[in-house]
Structure 1
Amino acid sequence: MVYFVGAGAGDPELLTLKGKRLIYHADTLIYAGSLVNPEVLAGRKPSSKVYDSAGMTLEEVLAVMKETEQAGGTTVRVHTGDASIYGAIREQLDALDKLGIAHEVVPGVSSFLAAAAAMQKEYTLPEVTQTVILTRMEGRTPVPERERIEELAKHRATMVIFLSVGRIAELAERLKTAYPETTPVAVVYKASWPDETIVTGTLADIAEKVQAAGITKTALVTIGDFLGDSYALSKLYDKAFTHEYRQGKNA
């Protein structure tokens, strides 16, 4: 069996109980060493084999999994955050299907959730926005034309932009095609890690601030009025709002 485990955003305590148990008992561990906090592997059994996939090809990763399977062992493939977001797991799952190797995916805590926690913000504020767009700029990996930054920005929803902080000046200019320059922006570097850093500003000045902070990778760019202070109170706890579990009460 091969388990794909989302390792959380960085803080090893954000690893799920299931993920932690699987890591502790794995015969083989393959982790993305360039991104995964190695502390999430602490406590593994001494006999486990550990591979850093940062320098491995897909074929090499699959070969390790196949070898472990043939030996009757269990492989745990440790990905960053939640492996379902920019985790490149689909190609591995499909290849394992062809090899007849069973697999399971264990979800983790994505960096976009850790970033919101670090900022102590809520992405979906009543009467501000109820939509969160997770995306990235095109680079060596393209994006569909309909998903270009300028197209998504037209919604003026909350946006969380992965893998793009290294081109923050270009990103800000492209976002300005739909968002006002005064729109608040926050860049969260290594959310939940010991060296977590948050840089705040607006579309007008965020590029300069991020560049001054020396942040070029491993950060999320968040934009939207959810970062502001104006919003409506939730109906969920409104005493005049009735629902299945509570009848309305007069003021």
Structure 2
Amino acid sequence: MNRVYFIGAGPGDPSLLTLKGASLLAQCQAVFAPEPFEETFVELLRGKTVRIPFDFYFDELLEKIEELLIEGNVAFLVPGDLTFYAPFQALIDVLGDRSEAVPGVGTVNAASAYLKKTLDLPGACNRAVITSPRILEEEKGAPALRDLAAPGVTLLLYMNHLPLPQLAEQLRAGYGGNVPIAIAHRLGLPGQEVVTGSLDDIVDRVGDRDFFNLENKNRRPALTLVIVGETLTATVGKAWWDDRRDKIWKYRS
């Protein structure tokens, strides 16, 4: 029986594809790739039927998948991976045992590595929260963004739809002051830009760059991740290491 593979494709950099993901992708004769993955993965997609999944309504997409499964395996390149805000859960639920999800390098993982920062560093951060200002606004009864922003919290924000000055104002109200922020735009893709700063100066640092796709007629969310919190500039050393060893890592006799 032919299968549909939902392959975690990271931020879109083909070098971040896992060995398993690459192996399964090679076995598929048809691939659904969101923009701009059909371009960044072009070398791995040669000779395959490639379509953009968001060009279809749900029933149309299911019909196309069934048609392609007659000929062979089908792959979906999943932005990041299935863990956070993946758009393909409804398809996986319908396909059931005919589908398989393959983990990948998520955008948060890639951003953490780029910044060379642990996002839940004990002593600087006691929790990391992944959310979306857009989803918080759409969901009735959801907390406000400023309610989630607090000292000791690293916020990872997908699909921001707020103008940057408004976003910074809400975050500053929650944190109660100025904290570090990083904006990772098109991480791992052509046109990559990563801007770091603080809530007080990030608007000036970004300038007129439209990182959140607010001025474009194309209403699809921008490929931009926002990370906020003290851990972005926190440093630790010998005392921190030795304390963690004594409390956690050391074998007990």
Would you call these one fold, judging by a TM-score over 0.5? yes
Match of 1:53 in 2: 53
- Count, aligned residues: 242
What are the equivalent positions in structure 2 for 1:185-204 lying under 5 Å apart? 185-204=181-200
- Once residues 5 and 196 of structure 2 are traced to their aligned partners in structure 1, the CA distance between those partners, rounded to angstroms, is 38
Q: What is the DSSP-based 3-state SS (H/G/I as helix, E as strand, rest coil) of the residue aligned with 2:75?
A: strand
- Once residues 136 and 122 of structure 2 are traced to their aligned partners in structure 1, the CA distance between those partners, rounded to angstroms, is 37
- Once residues 150 and 120 of structure 1 are traced to their aligned partners in structure 2, the CA distance between those partners, rounded to angstroms, is 26
Tell me: CA distance 1:170–1:244, structure 2 relative to 1, closer, same or farther (3 Å).
closer
Preserved CA contact (<8 Å) 1:80 1:87: yes
After TM superposition, give the deviation of residue 201 of structure 1 in Å: 1.6
Preserved CA contact (<8 Å) 1:24 1:45: no
Preserved CA contact (<8 Å) 2:148 2:174: no
Q: If the length of structure 1 is used for normalisation, what is the TM-score?
A: 0.84
After TM superposition, give the deviation of residue 92 of structure 1 in Å: 0.9
Preserved CA contact (<8 Å) 2:182 2:226: yes
Match of 2:19 in 1: 17
Tell me: CA distance 1:237–1:57, structure 2 relative to 1, closer, same or farther (3 Å).
farther
What does the per-residue CA deviation read over 1:192-220, in whole Å, with 9 as the maximum and x for residues that have no partner? 22432111121122123224344233211
Q: What is the DSSP-based 3-state SS (H/G/I as helix, E as strand, rest coil) of the residue aligned with 2:195?
A: strand
Letter in 2 for 1:32: P
Preserved CA contact (<8 Å) 1:128 1:231: no
Q: If the length of structure 2 is used for normalisation, what is the TM-score?
A: 0.83
Preserved CA contact (<8 Å) 2:136 2:144: no
Provide structure 2 residue ranges, at least 5 long, that are not aligned to the other structure: 213-221
After TM superposition, give the deviation of residue 224 of structure 1 in Å: 0.4
Moved more, 204-213 or 80-89: 204-213
Query: Is 1:31 aligned to residue 30 of structure 2?
Result: no
What are the equivalent positions in structure 2 for 1:129-148 lying under 5 Å apart? 129-138=125-134, 142-148=138-144
Q: 2:203 aligns with which of 204, 207, 216?
A: 207
- Once residues 137 and 38 of structure 2 are traced to their aligned partners in structure 1, the CA distance between those partners, rounded to angstroms, is 25
Preserved CA contact (<8 Å) 2:136 2:145: no
Preserved CA contact (<8 Å) 1:3 1:75: yes
What are the equivalent positions in structure 2 for 1:1-251 lying under 5 Å apart? 1-33=3-35, 35-36=36-37, 38-44=39-45, 46=47, 48-69=48-69, 71-97=70-96, 102-138=98-134, 142-154=138-150, 156-164=152-160, 167-216=163-212, 217-231=222-236, 241=246, 246=251
Preserved CA contact (<8 Å) 2:184 2:193: yes
After TM superposition, give the deviation of residue 87 of structure 1 in Å: 1.1
Q: What is the DSSP-based 3-state SS (H/G/I as helix, E as strand, rest coil) of the residue aligned with 1:54?
A: helix
After TM superposition, give the deviation of residue 5 of structure 1 in Å: 0.7
Indicate the structure with greater helix content: 2
Preserved CA contact (<8 Å) 1:15 1:40: no
After TM superposition, give the deviation of residue 150 of structure 1 in Å: 1.9
Identity percentage of aligned residues:
25
What does the per-residue CA deviation read over 1:212-245, in whole Å, with 9 as the maximum and x for residues that have no partner? 3442332111110001234466866659627676
Tell me: CA distance 1:122–1:21, structure 2 relative to 1, closer, same or farther (3 Å).
same
Tell me: CA distance 1:206–1:32, structure 2 relative to 1, closer, same or farther (3 Å).
same
Alignment RMSD: 2.8
Tell me: CA distance 1:237–1:37, structure 2 relative to 1, closer, same or farther (3 Å).
farther
Tell me: CA distance 1:181–1:201, structure 2 relative to 1, closer, same or farther (3 Å).
farther
Preserved CA contact (<8 Å) 1:4 1:77: yes
After TM superposition, give the deviation of residue 104 of structure 1 in Å: 0.6
Letter in 1 for 2:86: G
